[in-house]
Amino acid sequence: MAIDDTRLVTPAAMGAIDAAAARGGIDSFTLMQAAGAHVAAVVLAHYPDALRVVVVCGPGNNGGDGHVAARLLMQSGVAVARFGAPPKPGGDAARAFTECPGSLAPLEDWQPRAGDVVIDALFGAGLDRAVGDDVAAVIARAEATGTPVVAVDLPSGLSGRTGAPTGPCFRAEHTVTFAARKPGHLLMPGRALCGRLHLCDIGIPARLIASDDRLWRNHPGLYSDHLPVADAAAHKYTHGHLAVFSGPLISSGAARLAAVAGLRAGAGLVTVASPPNAVLTQASHFTAIMQRALGGADALADWLGDRRLSAFVLGPGFGDADKARAFTRQLADTGRPVVLDADGITAHAACRDALGAAFGGAVRLALTPHEGEFARLFPDLAKDPALSKVDRARAAAAMLNAVVVYKGADTVIAAPDGRSAINADAPAWLATAGSGDVLAGILGGLLAQAMPVFEAACAAVAMHGLAARRAGIGMTAEDLAGQVRPPDHSAADAGRT
């Protein structure tokens, strides 16, 4: 049975899905057997030379999965030792414990040996606090000896909701999870602590995995129906006109990167509007991209009378915060889509509410903060340790009636209506100076072509990652901009999580 591998489900929602499965007549012990079998299969496939499999078992159903895996591995002729505390009598875990031959030693008895592989079945979805000293000592022993760890559902100590450890946490080589990925499998540092993730079908019907979390990993299904269509009758104005605002001479390169990316993302025309003293420099770089000298507010008001200007990018290398605020207000009044990045975000740190008020009504503002910019605009959200990155992005989006692209290795895209996506497959070499300017340009290019903002943001983040893969390791932001391609309607789902 195929499972929907795009939907992300919080541990709490997973509990509700499990309950719904039970109400629907699905036997929970059968699910546990399937879960344990997948764990055993991953261990057999990846550690054929293990001399001993050490299963550390917790008191709940995560431990139950461990007991099932232990029994199946023993039946396959593998040497298995179990450590932990027995489960409370009566439930599925107790039955799995009873059905597994052999004894259960206390956790502190595990002395690592060469050839050990650990199955971490201590805590999964039920983790609700930092692990105790006994578990912390096991984690430390595994880490100190470099013993490979296969985690059941989640590495113990990792919050499946936030992707943050609650205290000491296993670092797994493989994590075997069931029915749906949890946010903590994709959010950092969770993604790194999980190692390679195996998403396994244990027989929970896909229709039950439709929780109302409205959270996905970023994938083409979120945006492919809204991509600009290449129409044989098109002319350049039907693909929109993107305006990118340049900063002063010294930092004018950022706008160039955004402009090139916007044109390559399919905008029909792109104009870079620069302070008069930067125009010559800009002109020496461009052929296909147009130029405009733009002084202050009056000049902008004149230009905005051109209805064909269909989207704006303001912020990369922009500098002047007063001017950024004034221009943003004028852009808001046009009713057309705006991408605020970098200095365009920072300029609003002391007037966040006014920014949200200026962009009321239909959503047409996109913000693309990295961690530092996010903390400047939303210090209250950034400081709250109870919030996950998804929670923070969603709250920010709702506050400003904007789509927020909260960048990083785990970029979160959130809309004011709560729809959110985590992008977890961009290559690490995207972390290079100027790559954020390229992303802002791609997004501007898609908005210029009239894509709705959330869908455009999801597509832009995916295109950014694909461009980085084409450019390859060692790329510069110039290389990256040169590798941007218009979105490909036929692109297969390139998810690599």
Ligand X SMILES: NC(=O)C1=CN([C@@H]2O[C@H](COP(=O)(O)OP(=O)(O)OC[C@H]3O[C@@H](n4cnc5c(N)ncnc54)[C@H](O)[C@@H]3O)[C@@H](O)[C@H]2O)[C@@H](O)CC1
Q: Which is nearer to ligand ADP, 306 or 371 (CB)?
A: 371
28 binds ligand X (CB under 6 A): yes
Tokens found for residue 81: 């030792």
Long-range contacts: 344-349, Cβ < 8 Å, 24+?
A: 344/314, 344/315, 344/318, 345/315, 345/369, 345/373, 345/376, 345/377, 346/321, 346/373, 346/376, 346/377, 347/318, 347/321, 347/322, 348/324, 348/377, 349/376, 349/377
Neighbours of 90 (CB within 10 A): 8
Q: Which of 11, 60, 160, 434 binds ligand ADP (CB under 6 A)?
A: 434
Q: 453-471 and 435-448 are packed helices; what angle lies between their axes, rounded to 10 degrees? A: 130
- Residue with smaller CB distance to ligand ADP, 126 or 408: 408
Choose between 84 and 434: whose C-beta lies nearer to ligand ADP.
434
456 binds ligand ADP (CB under 6 A): no
Min separation Cβ 462 and ligand ADP, Å: 11
The answer, yes or no, to whether the previous bond of 165 is cis (omega within 30 of 0) is no
Rounded to whole angstroms, the Cα distance separating 36 from 443 reads 44
Closest separation between CB of residue 443 and ligand X, Å?
37
Give the shortest CB-126-to-ligand X separation in angstroms. Answer: 2
Among 435, 454, 459, 484, binds ligand ADP (CB under 6 A): 435
Q: Which amino acid is at 344?
A: G
Is residue 127 close enough to count as binding ligand X by CB under 6 A?
yes
From the list ligand X, ligand ADP, K ion, none, pick the one residue 437 interacts with, judged by a Cβ distance below 5 to 8 Å according to partner type: ligand ADP
Q: How far is the CB of 170 from K ion (least distance, A)?
A: 7
Question: Is 152 a binder of ligand X (CB under 6 A)?
Answer: yes
**274 forms bridges with which residues in the sheet?**
293
- By CB under 6 A, how many residues form the interface with ligand ADP? 16
Q: How far is the CB of 61 from ligand ADP (least distance, A)?
A: 34
Give the range of 25-33, 346-354, 413-421, 422-430 binding ligand X by CB under 6 A: 25-33
Burial letters 119-143, b for 16+ CB under 10 A, else e: bbbbbbbbbeeebeeebeebbebbe
How far from 50 is each of 38, 152, 229, CA to CA, in Å? 17, 18, 54
**CB 138, CB 102: distance < 8 Å:** no
128 or 231: CB nearest ligand X: 128
Token representation of residue 251? 């930092």
Query: 60 contacts which partner out of ligand X, K ion, ligand ADP, none, CB within 5 to 8 A by kind?
Result: ligand X
Rounded CA separation 406/427 (Å): 16
**Residue from 1, 49, 90, 129 in contact with ligand X (CB under 6 A):** 129
Q: Is 65 annotated in some ligand binding site?
A: yes
Binding site residue list for AMP: 407-411, 436
Q: Which residues bind ligand ADP (CB under 6 A)?
A: 370, 407-409, 411, 426, 428, 430-431, 433-437, 439, 464
